[in-house]
Structure 1
Amino acid sequence: MRADRLLSLLLLLQNRGRMTAPELAAELEVSVRTVYRDIEALGASGVPVCAERGPAGGYRLMDGYRTRLTGLTDAEAGSLFLAGAPGAARELGLGAVLATAQLKLQAALPAELAERSRRIQDRFHLDAPAWFRDAEPVPHLASVARAVWEQHVLRVRYRRWNGQVYPGPDAREPGRRLCPLGIVLKGGIWYLVAVAAEEDEDEGEAAARTFGASRTYRIARFLAVETSGETFERPDGFDLAACWEESSQRLEAALHQGTARLRISPRAQRLLPMQFGAAGTRALESAGPPDHEGWVQVEMPVEAQAVAVSDLLRLATEAEVLGPPELRRAVGEAVAVLAERYAAVPSP
C-alpha cells in the first residue's frame, strides 16, 4: 500500500511540478505528517526531491528528472473506461486505482500532450446524477461489480418496485441465483443486467449455455448479495449497450399505454421537456400552429390513466386535455375534487 502511495506522490511531483505538503496530503488522502515521511523515503531511495521554503515554496523534483515507472496494472487499465466519471469510479471502489492510472498516463505522455490532457480535465466535468435527487445508497454495488468482472453467480434477495421481496420475506432463503452480465449507470441510478442461473439436472451448477432473456435490476433494491462461488460463461455475442437499448425501448413501450391530445400555453411549452423528458420534446416538435394566445395543440404518449392524470395535473392551469374523452373526464373529476377540497375552510 505504501509503495503505491510513494509512486503516486512521485508521479504527482513529476506531472504537476512544485506542490506543498498540504496539497500532496489532499491528493493522496493522507495526513501532512505522512507526506513528510514519504518525502524522506523517496529521498532515501535516490529520488532527487528538492524542498523549497517560503510562501511560494514546496516540494519538486530536480530539473530534468523523470521516472519511467509508469506501467499500468490490470486494475488500473480496467478503470480507465471510467476516466470521465470519477464519481462512478468511487462508487465502484475504483477511485484510487483510477487516480493512479491517470497519473501514470500523464507521466508517460510527452510534455505537450500531458499539458493538453490537464487542460481538458480542468475544463470538462461529467456529473451523471439527475437534478434535485439525492444519490441512492448502493451498499452492494462493489460486490455486484466484482461478480460481473469475475463472472461469478450471485445469490440475491431483491425488493421489487411494489415493495414485495423476492424470493420471499424469509431471510434464511438462499435467494435468487443470477448470472450478472453488466452494470449500467442511468441518470445517477445503478442497474444490473443479468439472467437467471438455471440448474443443471446432473451437476446442480449454473448452466453455461442455457440463458433465458436478460432482466434489469435496480442495485439499490438488493437487500442481500452473496457470491455463490460458481462461475458461468457469458452468452456468445452478448452486447451490453444493445441489450440496454432494447430493454429501455421495451420499458418505454410498456409504460406508454395511450396518447393524450393537449392544448398548452406558452409557459407549458417551456415546461413540457423538463417535466416529461424526451416524450415532451418530441410532442413539441410536432405541435400545431399557435392560436391568437400562443397556445398550441400537441399529442404526447402517456402511461396508464391514473398515472397520466397525476402527471398532467402538474401542468396546472397551463394545459387543457382535449382527448381522449375518458382521460379528459378523469382529469376533470380530479380537478373537481380539488376545487371542493380547497373551497372548504380548513379547521384550525
Structure 2
Amino acid sequence: MVFLEIAAEELQQGMLAAGFANGAAVIRVHCEGLIRKLWSQLLEDPDEQLPWEAPLIDIARNHYGNSDITASLGDLFYFQPGHHGYIARKVEIDRTPEGHPVPTPGRFVQGKDSYRIADATMNECCRLADQLMEALTPPGQQYNERRVTVQRLKYQERFEDFEVLAAMSQNSLARWGRLGFQLDRHRGRLDGPFRHKGVSDMMGAMMMLPGLGKLPGWVNRSLSPKQSRTSNARVIERAHCDERYFTALCGTRENVRTEIQVGKQWIELPVGLTSFAVFPGNLAQRAFGLKPTMHRVVHTGETHPASAINRRTSNVTLLIGGV
C-alpha cells in the first residue's frame, strides 16, 4: 500500500498516524472545495505580485535568509543544480494566545506598495494544518498546535531555464564561491547511499579530479534507485525528507513531477487540485516514530507551446506544513 485515500471529513485523531504506521508512504486527503478556495486566494489574487513575476530588487527586499536554505522565509531565488531549482514565497504563521495569525514575513514589498495575506486566508491554512496535525498524532498522545508554513513554489517550464538561472547564480560568486558551486553541482548528481553529508562531499570532490571524475558517477548510478518512466527526466530537486511534522501539497504540473521512493523504485506522486498529498517528515519520526517519506522533483524533458502555459500558475506547488 503506497497511497491511501481518505476524505477530509473523515479525519480524526490518529488516522494519519495509523495509515503511515501500516505502510502508506502518502495519504491523499480529498478536499477539492477547500483547495480551490485556497488556490484562488493564494495564487490568483491579482493584487498580489508573486516573486516569479517581480523585479529582482523586490525579491531581495522580501528575502529573509538563513544559513539553512530550508529555514529561509519570504521570497527565495534558489537554483543549485541537482539540489533545488525554484522561485518561492514562504510564510511561517504563529498564533497569539487568542488565536490570531502572526505571519513572518508580515508584509511583502511590491515596488512602492506592499501586500499582506488576508487573516481569513491564514486562518483557513491554520485550520487545515491543525486538522492534519491532530490526525498525525497517535491516540493517547497530546495534540499541540504547531507553527504553520505556507509555501508557493514555482518550477520553470523549460529545463534549459534552470541551467541559465543556475549559471547566473554561479557567476555572481567570487572565485572560491564558484569552486564550491561546482562541487555542489557534482554532489547534486549523487543519490542513494551517496547523498548523505560527508560521503557526498568526498564523492563530489573526486568527481572534480581529472581522469577519475567518471568513476564515482558510474558507481553512483549503479547503486541508486531506478528512474521512473523516461530517461529524459532530470532531477531538479534532490531526494530528501522534509524537516517538518508533515507536508501537504497540491498544485499544477505541466512537465515536472514529484516522485517518492518506495524500496528501490521512484514512483510518481499524483499532484493536482482535488486533494492534498500528505506525508510525514523528520519531526514526525522523532515525535511519533513514523517513517519520513523520501521524495524528489524531476523535470520530464517535455516541452509545451508557450501559448498553452499560464506563466503565473503553471508548475506551481502550494504546500502547507506543520513545523
TM-score bucket of the superposed structures, by smaller chain: under 0.3
Structure with greater helix percent: 1
Normalising by structure 2, report the TM-score: 0.21
Normalising by structure 1, report the TM-score: 0.20
Structure with greater strand percent: 2
Does 1 or 2 have the higher relative contact order (CA < 8 Å, sep 6+)? 2
